[in-house]
A and B are shown apart, each in its own frame.
Chain A
Amino acid sequence: MFSLYSIAEWIAFLCSILLFAKGVEKGYRVFFFYTLAVILTEFAGRWLMETTQHNHRLFTFACFAFTCFYFLTLRSFLKDARRRKLVIILLGLFITIYTINLFFIQQLKEFNSYSFIAGYTLLSIAATIYYMEFIQQETITPIREEPNFFIVTGYFIYGTLTAILYTLHRYFAYMKIPNANYRNLFTTTSDITNVSLYLLLAVAFVIIWKRRKS
């Protein structure tokens, strides 16, 4: 059965096909490959789970790649050179934390949640940097015509909530609370974050397609 967020992923993927229409800014086409990669990762993760193999390694690497993608796309939306540099510094910090965690702390024994708690917190900070620039823009910017705002809002909701979720997950593990006790909380929150991200991306893709140059 398809879960709610899988449907949202497919909607985002189908909408990303619009980015190949004539007149659409070519840079946005990278989102098609991103949504495709998300769906393929999801399939691979399910397949590994069904064949009773561990899928945490796959997600440790996939989430790292996706998080780097979020940072880089967010950086490309910024106009101010100083802010762009700041986002690169945040990305560098995330890569450093990820590397240290991968080699010395959690390693490949489990999903590298510490890396992503830090990574998604840094992503939320990067999104806030974008919001600051967005508010300060001196040109009239109607929000419904600004796809970058929807994309970054997707990253922000996803990043902030996932960081909280992983923190809770680690805390419950520390408290030795069994997985079954909070599975519902985990699934619901996870669904909200994923659905928010992919639906906001889908909206952004439609806006990009609508404002294409004829």
Chain B
Amino acid sequence: MEKEKVISIFFQVAVIAFSLIVAFVTAIVYMRFKRNQDIRQKHSMEKEFAEQLKQSRIEVQEQTFGQIGKELHDNVGQLLSTSRMLLGLTERSLLNPPDTLITANTTLGEAINELRSLSRSMDKDWLEQFNFSENLHTEILRINAGNKVQASCHLQGMPGLASGEQIILFRIVQEAIQNALRHGNPTNISIKVQEEENGCCIIVEDNGSGFVMPHHAEGMGMNNMKQRTAILGGHITWRAAPDAGVSVFIHLPIKNAVT
């Protein structure tokens, strides 16, 4: 009888042990599940923080652009206008004004126009009044006015973007054009839109001196363009070779490419 009782007690012990093992394993599974949730939350917070950081960087840049634009218009522009007025007065006061004076007056007039359109292209408030295509056309006109570079754009199939997104895209294209003008010494710059399977691609091409693609080190400008494109949910790539010009491909996903 006593032996049967011992067996019964140990049977209970075995059942309890099994239950405890199952409970222990369940607790491990639960702890892992909670840990996964924490890691996911941490990742999403980090991503959100990085997005905010990028956004605020862009905003600071926009403010700086705006300030430079205003300074150019209100300060340098005024000085140049006054100088032109004085030149005009001098020109009129002379019976036979020298050609150099007339040329200087005309050149100064061109410089004032150039400065005005440059300061307007930096002003965010001005940009918001127009869409991307109009802004780009103005930029093209400004470049062509210099008679050194022939710029053109074909924007059929251009994505419909929100105002803020249009500014970001405009800044990317503007940076690509400025890079070409500054470093490539091109005679032609073309901007076109190509439809893709999941969105569209805006291509900025030039026939300048090009460059050897850097593998690791990238300039501030390239990083800025990458960050801005990432904000639009897209990605940017470069194709360049010495003496073969540069092509910049701005790929935008379908959510930003609603025509």
Residues of chain A whose beta carbon lies under 8 Å from any beta carbon of chain B = 131, 134-143, 153, 156-157, 160-161, 164-165, 168, 171-172, 175, 177, 181-182, 185, 189, 192
- Is there an interface contact between A164 and B32, defined as CB atoms closer than 8 Å? no
User: Which residues of chain A have C-beta atoms less than 8 A from B4's C-beta?
Assistant: 181
Given the contacts A134-B32, A181-B4, A168 and B21 also touching, CB distance less than 8 Å: no
Chain A: minimal CB distance from B39 (Å) = 5
| 27 pairs of residues in contact across A and B, judged by CB atoms under 8 Å | A131-B28, A135-B32, A135-B35, A136-B35, A137-B35, A139-B39, A140-B39, A141-B36, A143-B32, A156-B25, A160-B17, A161-B17, A164-B14, A165-B14, A171-B10, A172-B6, A172-B7, A172-B10, A175-B3, A177-B3, A177-B6, A177-B7, A181-B3, A181-B4, A181-B7, A185-B7, A192-B18
Whether the pair B32, A185 counts as a contact (CB closer than 8 A) is: no
Is residue B76 contacting chain A, with contact meaning CB distance below 8 A?
A: no
Q: Shortest CB–CB separation between residue B44 and chain A, in angstroms?
A: 12
Closest beta carbon of chain A to B33's beta carbon, Å: 7
Within the assembled complex, what's the spacing in Å between the Cα atoms of A37 and B210? 66
Contact of B13 with A by CB under 8 A: yes
**Contact call B36/A142, Cβ cutoff below 8 A:** yes
A153 partner residues in chain B, CB cutoff 8 A: 25
Which residues of the partner chain A approach B21 to less than 8 Å between Cβ atoms? Answer: 156-157, 160-161
A185-B10 contact in complex given A140-B39, A140-B40, A156-B21, C-beta closer than 8 Å? yes
A29→B126 CA distance, assembly (Å): 68
User: B238 at interface (Cβ–Cβ under 8 A)?
Assistant: no
Least Cβ–Cβ distance between A68 and chain B, in angstroms: 23
Q: Which residues of B sit under 8 angstroms from A160, Cβ to Cβ?
A: 17, 21
Judged by DSSP, the binding face of A is helix
B35: which A residues are within 8 A, CB to CB?
135-137
Inter-subunit contact B31/A135 (CB<8 Å): yes
Q: With the chains together, A182 CA to B6 CA distance in Å?
A: 10
Residues of A within 8 A of B3 (CB): 175, 177, 181
Q: How far is the CA of A165 from the CA of B18 in the complex (A)?
A: 11
- Taking the complex as formed, is B213 at the interface, i.e. its CB lies under 8 A from any CB of chain A? no
Instruction: Tell me how far the C-beta of B248 lies from the nearest C-beta in chain A, rounded to whole angstroms.
Output: 35
Contact across chains for A143 and B33 when beta carbons are under 8 A apart: yes
Interface string of B14-51 (1 = CB under 8 A from A): 10011001000100110111011001100000000000
**Interfacial chain A residues near B130, Cβ < 8 Å:** none
- Report which of B6, B7, B28, B39 forms a contact with A134, defined as CB distance below 8 A: B28
Chain B residues near A141 (CB-CB < 8 A): 32, 36
- In the assembly, what is the distance between CA of A172 and CA of B28, in Å? 33
Residue with the highest number of chain A CB atoms closer than 10 Å, among B13, B32, B36, B40: B32
Bound CA span A171–B14, Å: 14
Quick one: closest A residue to B14, CB to CB? Answer: A189
Contacts of A165 in B (CB 8 A): 14
Neighbouring A residues of B11 by C-beta, 8 Å? 185
The answer to whether A143 touches B29, judged by C-beta atoms less than 8 angstroms apart, is yes
Chain A residues with CB below 8 A from B25, complex form: 153, 156-157
| Contact, CB under 8 Å: B17 / A182 | no
Which chain A positions have C-beta within 8 A of B28?
131, 134-135
For A140, the chain B residues whose CB sits under 8 A away are 36, 39-40
A138 touches B39 (CB 8 A): yes
Q: Bound complex: CA of A50 vs CA of B10, how far in Å?
A: 31
Question: Could you tell me the distance in whole angstroms from the C-beta of A69 to the nearest C-beta in chain B?
Answer: 21
CB-based contact A175/B6 at 8 Å? yes
Contact of B14 among A137, A156, A185 (CB under 8 A): A185
